[in-house]
Structure 1
């Protein structure tokens, strides 16, 4: 937000620049559209370029603004939504890990397993064995809050060599 300082009659006043404020609000509306699209179409093949094109922003600008607004990149947000849905499907217990991987929009079982382990702290097969049917009898609104994935900060990042 751009602020200008004016000295008027011996006092200093702050005035917010109208175009900068309007641009910020316009960007927030577009970012909400991107977030809503990710929430709605998480199982579809989405990438940052397609998301940016959908709201007439450059990929760099979208990534920077999305991170500033929501605390994570669009890709990270997408993967979190996918893993959140995968957790629910694994708890149901009627699909294999591979079927869950493809059902939530991941095209690689290895990438899915890696991201799942990073977010949840255990591999998908272990999660399925430990948490199958654990939310039975809990209202879905409460189960969603209790089981929401939180990025596991203690998990070591695998070296990419």
Structure 2
């Protein structure tokens, strides 16, 4: 077990990492980068990147993009915005990068996802179930949860 000063530092780092994650969850549509997030918690970008990956199993950028894609999925299901409008609404600055990442996480391009959900196959399903069915996979390399 780590000594008390090491343990205290570890707990402080975890609290700072949680602040970074919370900020990404709140401000995903704003221009965010690792350097700005690191400055916000008084860490270097490299240290934040290493600690974030160790704590959450994915990079800061990957977490940010997944959060943006989750929001984009909801906007595309609504059907009143184009893929380009959704891309910029969730904070992406490149339609190509957005489409590529969306396809990686969801399995289909955003235009196909939008078209498939125009008929609302989840209509009438409780929102908690819709969220489970439509959630993207965050980290494909991570072992699958066993449900225990």
Q: With structure 2 as the length reference, what TM-score do the two structures score?
A: 0.88
Of the three residues 92, 111, 114, the one matched with 1:125 is: 111
Structure number with higher helix proportion: 2
* Aligned ranges 1:8-157 → 2 under 5 Å: 16-132=2-118, 133-151=120-138, 153=140
Q: Which residue of 1 aligns with 2:146?
A: none
The answer to whether the 8 Å contact 2:69/2:102 transfers is yes
The answer to whether the 8 Å contact 1:52/1:58 transfers is yes
The answer to whether the 8 Å contact 1:121/1:152 transfers is no
Task: Give the whole-Å Cα distance in 2 for the aligned partners of 1:27 and 1:141.
Answer: 32
Q: What's the CA shift for 1:62?
A: 0.5
> Greater relative contact order: 1 or 2 (C-alpha under 8 angstroms, separation 6 or more)?
2
Task: Give the whole-Å Cα distance in 2 for the aligned partners of 1:65 and 1:45.
Answer: 22
Alpha-carbon RMSD:
1.7
Q: How many residues align?
A: 140
Structure 1 alignment gaps of length 5 or more: 4-15, 154-161
Structure 1 or 2, whichever has the larger Rg, is 1
Any idea what the Cα deviations from partners look like across 1:15-65, whole Å, max 9, x if unmatched?
x31111001000000000000000000000000000000001111111111
The answer to whether the 8 Å contact 2:63/2:138 transfers is no
Runs ≥4 residues deviating over 4 A: none
Q: With structure 1 as the length reference, what TM-score do the two structures score?
A: 0.82
User: SS where residue 50 of structure 2 aligns?
Assistant: helix
